[in-house]
Amino acid sequence: MKIDILTLFPEMFAGFLEHSILGRAHKAGLIEINLVQWRDFTLDKHRKVDDAPYGGGAGMVLMCDPLFRAIEALKSADENFPETQVIYLTPQGQPFVQSIAIDLSEHAQHLILVCGHYEGVDERARILFDREISIGDYVLTGGELPAAILTDAVARLMPGVLGNDESAVHESFMHGIFDHPHYTRPEVYRDMTVPSILLGGHHAKIQEWRYERALERTREVRPDLVEKLGQK
């Protein structure tokens, strides 16, 4: 998968893409992530990407022309990735959930993530977007943090990125509920013990216990998720 992040502040991603799982996956060629400076697609000497809104009002609006030029250039840059989706990160978008991350990881070969700023983009530029995505009902100073979150959530689902692909299968939200509790050594720590069922080696019973604990944990915090499953 190839991910192009169109941003006014590429330096905000320093470190995030260079270390940990994403850094290793990028270096290994499992994913390709490029930071693209929005201002490189302007035509004026001041590299201006925004202007005052028609009709007045506070703030600035991102102009059409640099965005059209950027998207067109990124789409045509590499014909090896024909399955391209352009995603605009905005509070007005569809809430980002695990099912979207799964869909993108399975069906998109090339993602172009547009990090909005100021009062947003000129309305005429919205015809460029295949999806508009929000990470929550709040407003940030820009789309860089949402783009980083989406990149992480999607990239870690790609084959080989986690090392053991089974790791992603049993995580929270993969089956509509939270993940089950996890334990590791030592068996006893400050009088707190590992549940005995996990020590018995009975796989079916362990799976049943894990599902019940996951369901219990989900019901306590997010009963709406349990209701979606038709559980009482």
- Rounded to an integer, what distance in angstroms lies between the CA atom of residue 50 and that of residue 161? 37
Given a contact cutoff of 8 angstroms between Cβ atoms, the answer to whether 21 and 128 are in contact is no
- Rounded to an integer, what distance in angstroms lies between the CA atom of residue 130 and that of residue 190? 53
Calculate the average pLDDT of the chain.
Answer: 91
- Rounded to an integer, what distance in angstroms lies between the CA atom of residue 114 and that of residue 86? 7
* pLDDT reported for residue 81: 65
What are the residue ranges spanned by the domains of the chain? 2-155, 170-228
Burial of 9 (0-12, 13-18, 19+ CB in 10 A): middle
Label residue 27 by pLDDT band (50, 70, 90): confident
Give per-residue pLDDT as tens, 82-102: 789 999 999 999 999 999 999
Q: Which CATH number is associated with domain 2-155?
A: 3.40.1280.10
Give per-residue pLDDT as tens, 63-79: 999 999 999 999 988 66
Superfamily for the 170-228 domain? tRNA(m1g37)methyltransferase, domain 2 (1.10.1270.20)
CA distances for 93 relative to 34, 36, 42, 83, 96, angstroms: 23, 22, 26, 21, 8
Tokens 């919205």, located at residue: 126
* pLDDT reported for residue 167: 56
Within 10 angstroms of residue 81's Cβ, the number of other Cβ atoms is 17
- Rounded to an integer, what distance in angstroms lies between the CA atom of residue 106 and that of residue 108? 6
Number of residues written out for the chain:
232
